Amino acid sequence: MSNHQPTLMERRAYCAYGRLQPLECQARCTESKRVPRKPLSEISGNRRRINRSQKPKRVQTGCKLCGVHLCVKQGCFHKYHA
C-alpha cells in the first residue's frame, strides 16, 4: 500500500509533469473553444507575449507521496511515475 496514489490536494497548482512535458499535459486542452479576441497589447509597446500555451495545466490532484501536483485524467500521474 506504499504505492503512489492520486490524491486531492489542498490547493491548485501547475501539473508537475506538465512542467516537464507541456505538450503532453496540454494534449486535451486544445479542445476548448476558440474565442477570438482583439489584441490589447498595443499599449505595452512592441513587446509580444511568449507562447502562453507552454504553461501546464492547473490541477488540484496530485501525489501526496511525492508532494507534487499531477493531472490524473490526462495520464500525467502515471507518466510522471513511469
CA angle at 49 for the pair 46 and 27, rounded to the nearest 5° = 155
* Whether the Cβ atoms of residue 71 and residue 57 lie closer than 8 Å to each other: yes
> Strand (E) positions, the chain?
6-14, 58-63, 68-69
The piece of 6-14, 30-38, 46-54, 67-75 that touches Zn ion (CB under 5 A) is 67-75
Binding to Zn ion by CB under 5 A, coded x per residue (else -) over 43-62, reads --------------------
Which member of 22, 62, 72, 76 binds Zn ion (CB under 5 A)? 76
Interface with Zn ion by CB under 5 A: which residues? 4, 15, 17-18, 25, 63, 65-66, 71, 76
